Amino acid sequence: MKSRISVRDYRPEDAQALAEIYFNTIHRINIKDYTQEQVDVWAPESSLEGKGWKKKFLRTNPIVAVEGDKVVGFAEFEPDGHIDCFYCHHEWIGKGVGFALMSEIFRRANNSDIDRIFSEVSITAKLFFEKQGFIVLSEQTILWKGVEFTNYKMEKRLHKNIEGGLVNTAEIIAEYYKAMGQKDFEKLEKLLSSDVQFIGPLAQMKGKEAVIESTKRFTSLFKALNVRAMFGSNNQAMVVYDLDCPEPIGLFSSSALMTFENGLITKIELFYDARPFDKR
């Protein structure tokens, strides 16, 4: 059964779990791009002590990602749009934790009228941030406790739609597939352009009403939907997701290339093997 990642605000009892994520991710994941000396300075044994973190987290109020009762990641998003800590549990890399955290950051930026999100990003995290639409402003070498580190100044500018609200592709996609998974067609309709174009292996159509009707039929074919990854830049994004369908189809993977304009979806291109559906 696929895991379901959700996000919530920080709680004081989270401090030790977040400290352990910080330490273990740096020593087990970032070690691939940094030396032992660097990770020892970055995350010394003392960073496993929760006391200092508790003081910091009361000030920064991290976003916490959970799967059930298990804490699997956290991010610190500051009022000026700066992302400080952004760490996923080392055993949960590539399972949607980073996407869930970043989608929540984009949602909060939208609600706070923040139009620029920026961070100092490690070599390890650079590709993930690029896939979320961030660009590299500069590579830099910093000196920390006498040890040099390479990282990147990165930023993402959020666009405004015609009503003036901030929008971004990751947030729209997160809302779209959340609504699809919940079969909330009223919410789906609000995310589509009136002349949205749909292209798939089994059908092609144009117009919001036609796409919604087709989506209703499509959602009747699966029990659950799980977004695995999203790669985007500017006005387009590619989404990869799994569908849990009744037998004989079973677990089914698909991807979609989505195009956006003024905060609305204008084109959806689906890519999947349609043969299992031909047998129904």
Tell me which of 46 and 224 has the higher pLDDT: 46
DSSP for 97-160 reads HHHHHHHHHHHHHHHTT--EEEEEEEHHHHHHHHHTT-EEEEEEEEEETTEEEEEEEEEEEPEE
Chain segment 100-111, per-residue pLDDT in tens: 999 999 989 988
The pLDDT value recorded for residue 280 is 53
For the chain, give the mean pLDDT: 89
> Is 229:170 a contact under the CB 8 Å cutoff?
no
Q: Which residue type is seen at 46?
A: S
Rounded to two decimals, the pTM is 0.63
- Residues 163/264, Cβ–Cβ less than 8 Å: no
Residue 115: Cβ within 10 Å count: 15
| pLDDT tens-digit series, residues 82-130 | 999 999 999 999 999 999 999 999 989 988 888 899 999 999 999 999 9
Could you report the per-residue pLDDT of 156-190, keeping only the tens digit for each? 987 655 444 445 677 788 788 888 888 899 989 98
Domains delineated in the chain: 6-157 (3.40.630.30), 192-278 (3.10.450.50)
